[in-house]
Amino acid sequence: MRDSFVLSSPSTFGKMTKTTTKQLLWLDLLRGIAALIVLMGHLRSVLFQDYEKIQNPNAIAKAFYFITGFGHQAVILFFVLSGFFIIKSIHDAHAKNNWSWKQYLLNRLSRLWMVLIPGLILGAFWDQLGLYLNPQFDIYTGAIEHLVYFNPQGHLGLGVFLGNLFFLQTIFFPTYGTNGALWSLSNEFWYYIIFPCLYIAYQVRTTISRKIIFFFIGMLLLSAFQYFSMDIATHPRDYFFIWMFGGLSLFLSRQPLHLFKTPITSVILAGMLIGMLIGIRIQLLPLIFNDWGLGVITLLLVCGLSQIEMKPLWLQKISSFLSNISYTLYIVHLPFVVFISSQMASQRLDFSTANLIKYLGIFFVAILYAYSVYYLFERNTNRVKNYIQKFIK
């Protein structure tokens, strides 16, 4: 299966709603850590040879490859967190009787496009420059079978650009250039459209005919998404239900369940989450240790963390910083790290202490690069959205 290096999505990613309480800062921290895990895994896959090709790996190499191998699981975390924030915004808007499709789509598209548009343009720049300077780099030639979706050859045309711009990657188009991580953004966007239809059909007080119409539209979109999916590894239908686990965690967090309000419960759940991640990596009892199991543990952890206040000021600052850049980091990192890696050699590097230092250098430079893009674009999302809103009115 494609790993996240493959999603999320934060992903899903990025801040879906403005976090104004100290409780939600724990979720911001979880989202930021997930984004860093995705970066770690992608960079390792692009820069270093596969683990199977290492002769007599030492303890450091074993630990490094193990720690950097949780990218796919990070995407599952993104999906649950995204479901929590999006479903929360939909439910609260309906509860206040101020829901409108126009406002909802404006909020979602402004958030997504504010980063996606410059991300696609920057990705095209880095890919074209890398193909010009070192076309023999094994990522650019598609020589690595399990990283073939990073191959930009034939994936840099205008049609693919527009397909990714309108979230049709993995449906009718491949992901753009080397940015294979964009698969999860397509899932995210269509979940944003499908869920409100089903919510109106089930939850909203309206006419029976309107409920039937919205239910039919929602199920039709979900079925079409599954049917037309170009890559079975994207599992759009399965991930949609895992994404909705975020809504279940929202429902549980609003019940008088005092057990979830104690920090010790969140500590236990965090330990269970780590145990689930390790179990998945070592392929322990796949019937239990899988994406579904991870989704269940995550929804319980989100339920607990959403009710606990983050007190240390230094941790609040770290959480806010990582959460602020998480969506941008997810969208823009891959073409950048592929280009930087392509300037090291024509083939991926063997694991060594010297090359590990290079890895760490690229890792921190990629974070700085993502912050720069965030500062120029995503940081101004509300300003641009308000301008568009005034223009529409």
Cβ-in-10-Å burial (0-12, 13-18, 19+) of 12 comes to: buried
Percent of the chain with pLDDT over 70: 93
**What pLDDT was estimated at residue 232?**
54
Could you read off the pLDDT of 320-368 as tens digits, one per residue?
A: 999 999 999 999 999 999 999 999 888 899 999 999 999 999 999 999 9
* 94: DSSP letter: H
Per-residue pLDDT at 318: 95
Q: For the segment 169-199, what is each residue's pLDDT rounded down to a tens digit?
A: 999 999 999 999 999 999 999 999 999 999 9
Cβ pair 75, 4 in contact under 8 A:
yes
Look at residues 86, 13, 55 and name the one whose alpha carbon lies nearest to residue 246: 86
Average pLDDT, stretch 4-20? 37
The residue among 283, 187, 287 whose CA lies nearest residue 241 is 187
Domain boundaries along the sequence of the chain: 24-392
Specify the pLDDT at position 293. Answer: 96
Say if residues 37 and 71 touch (Cβ distance below 8 Å). Answer: yes
pLDDT at 142: 85
- Given a contact cutoff of 8 angstroms between Cβ atoms, the answer to whether 233 and 187 are in contact is no
CA 181 to chain centre: 8
Averaged pLDDT, 72-86 = 96
pLDDT tens column, 54-69: 988 999 999 999 999 9
- The stretch 284-309 carries a mean pLDDT of 94
Closest CA to 43 of 348, 324, 391: 348
Q: What is the pLDDT of residues 217-276, one digit of tens each?
A: 999 999 998 888 876 556 788 899 999 999 999 998 888 777 788 889 999 999 999 999
The pLDDT-based confidence of 203 (bands split at 50, 70, 90) is confident
Quote the tokens at residue 15. Answer: 């801040």
Tens-place pLDDT, residues 157-168 = 999 999 999 999
Compute the average pLDDT of residues 112-119: 98
Average pLDDT over residues 98-118: 95
Measured in residues, the chain has a length of 393
Each residue of 24-47: pLDDT tens digit? 899 999 999 999 999 999 999 999
d(CA 90, CA 103): 11
CB 334 within 8 A of CB 182: no
Q: What is the mean pLDDT of residues 8-23?
A: 43
Determine the pLDDT at residue 181. Answer: 94
Does residue 133 have a pLDDT over 90?
A: yes
Query: How many contiguous H segments (helices) and E segments (strands) does the chain have?
Result: 14, 0
Residue 53 CB: number of other CB atoms within 10 A? 11
- Residue 8: pLDDT over 50: no
